[in-house]
Amino acid sequence: MSRIKKYRGMALVAILILAAFLYGSSLFLPHLENDEVIYQTLVSRTSQGLDHYNLDGTIYSQKLPEIYDSRLFYHPPFFIISLLPIWHILGNGFLILLPIFSGVAVIFLTYCLAVRLLSPLHGLLSCVFLLFCPLLTFASTRLLMETYLTAWLLLMLVFLLQYEEKWRWRYLLLSALCFALASLIKISAAFLIPLVVFIIMTQRDTLLARSVALAFFFFIVTALNVPWYLYFKMHQGSWLFVPNITEQTKELLPFIREVCKRPAWLCLIFLPWIYPIYLFGYLRSLMLPLDRSGIILTGCAGSVLLGYFLLAQSSNLTVQARYLVPALPAMAILSADFVIQKRGRWVALLCLLFVGIGFGTGLLNSFVSRPADVHDIFWYVKYLYPLNHPAWANLVASF
């Protein structure tokens, strides 16, 4: 048993090293996509103080639509604040280190979550699936906030489940702190509120104890969020600023115009469309009855997918593929659970095929064409044919 545990540890370390190498190669790539340039500009501006957390007066702001012309940027500032130490010490060119580290952390924390809910074998298999996930590779090789957000949400879940096992309030406190910081990265962290309520209120304890724990959790989260929203209210004049996609926005940003054409239901099927291994996760969620671990994992992935679906359905906001990154860990664990339960020759062959498709799609999106959003493998079959397309040279040059 000890030898098996040792080999599992070695396998996990190998996966993390491969992920660090894969994501770390983005240090040698340009980061000039629209949002990447915005975040680099915000870091430089915010280094002068939080009052400068905007694009006001910059050359780049003149090229953007009116939705970016506000006294404070519409996302909470913790992502930009986290980039400031890297900017001061290493400079603008190394800001990508935060998404790289976050991507590796997502894989490690997914292992921790899978071990807590299921078994180490589930953890290793889900890490393999994530290593070759094109969407996680995409988000970890660009200066974007989604992997950083996902890492904090995973840490929140790990601490919350640790509290459930140990019954020590410090784990509940740490979980609340992680959730508060995640909500200060991106407000979409609120999609996981129903899951948090479910986990706490279904623990083996009295109703009073569970209610007190729930109240304590959200008291900490609220206490850490209120200062920012008060500050935002003072400067912006409203509690929230939801960017409105106007015709000017679509004219100045052609990519947004194309994204706006996507139907809202695409959010629900996009993950298996670009990485078919997640089909197993969908099938596992439909295998009834679900135990508590299955409900938690399905709720984690489903809350993100359904949240963005409802958001896209009820407004004219765009939903890009990278927004769904917080759903990836739960989907990977569910897929691993399906493969372990239905183990067989055909399942193994499908796994190899799906992982190969995912890895190829990830390389094409992250190191060959580097589009603004993830494209599926079928798009590249059309785009990169014939094989002498100049974009293939980018892949060789990147390594």
User: Which tens digits make up the pLDDT trace of 233-257?
Assistant: 888 777 777 666 666 666 667 666 6
What does the block give as tokens for 51? 């009052």
User: DSSP per residue over 198-256, as a string?
Assistant: HHHHTSSS-HHHHHHHHHHHHHHHHHHHHHHHHHHHHHHSSS-------HHHHHH-HHH
The single-letter code of the amino acid at 22 is L
Instruction: Over range 259-278, report the average pLDDT.
Output: 86
pLDDT at 1: 46
pLDDT at 172: 95
Q: Do 46 and 55 meet the contact criterion of CB atoms below 8 Å apart?
A: no
Q: Say yes or no to pLDDT of 347 above 60.
A: yes
What does the block give as tokens for 171? 């784990």
**Comparing 266 with 39, which gets the higher pLDDT?**
39
Instruction: Over range 222-235, report the average pLDDT.
Output: 92
pLDDT at 323: 92
Helix, strand or coil for residue 373?
coil
**Cα–Cα dist 64/73, whole Å:** 13
Instruction: Over range 94-105, report the average pLDDT.
Output: 96
Percent of the chain with pLDDT over 90: 56
Q: Say yes or no to pLDDT of 392 above 90.
A: no
DSSP 68: G
pLDDT at 244: 66
Identify the residue whose tokens are 């200062």. Answer: 227
**Comparing 54 with 299, which gets the higher pLDDT?**
299
Identify the residue whose tokens are 């992997």. Answer: 147
pLDDT at 182: 97
Identify the residue whose tokens are 């194309």. Answer: 258
Letter string b/e over residues 43-63, b meaning 16 or more CB atoms within 10 A of that residue's CB: bebbeeeeeebbbeebeeeee
Q: Report the range of poorest mean pLDDT among 85-89, 168-172, 263-267.
A: 263-267
List, for residues 121-162, the tens digit of each pLDDT value.
999 999 999 999 999 999 999 999 999 999 999 999 999 999
**Cα–Cα dist 127/167, whole Å:** 28
How many other C-beta atoms are found inside a 10 Å radius of the C-beta of residue 313?
12
Q: What is the mean pLDDT of the chain?
A: 87
Q: Report the range of poorest mean pLDDT among 236-250, 284-298, 333-347.
A: 236-250
Single pTM value for the model? 0.92
Measured N-to-C along each axis, helices 207-236 and 169-183 cross at an angle, to the nearest 10 degrees, of 30
Q: According to the per-residue pLDDT averaged within each range, which of 57-61, 162-166, 257-261 is highest? A: 162-166
With left for phi above 0 and alpha for psi between -120 and 50, is residue 57 left, alpha or beta?
left
User: DSSP per residue over 304-360, as a string?
Assistant: HHHHHHHHHHHSS----GGGGGGGHHHHHHHHHHHHHHT-SHHHHHHHHHHHHHHHH
Q: Report the range of poorest mean pLDDT among 43-57, 95-109, 265-279, 365-379.
A: 365-379
Instruction: Over range 36-56, report the average pLDDT.
Output: 89
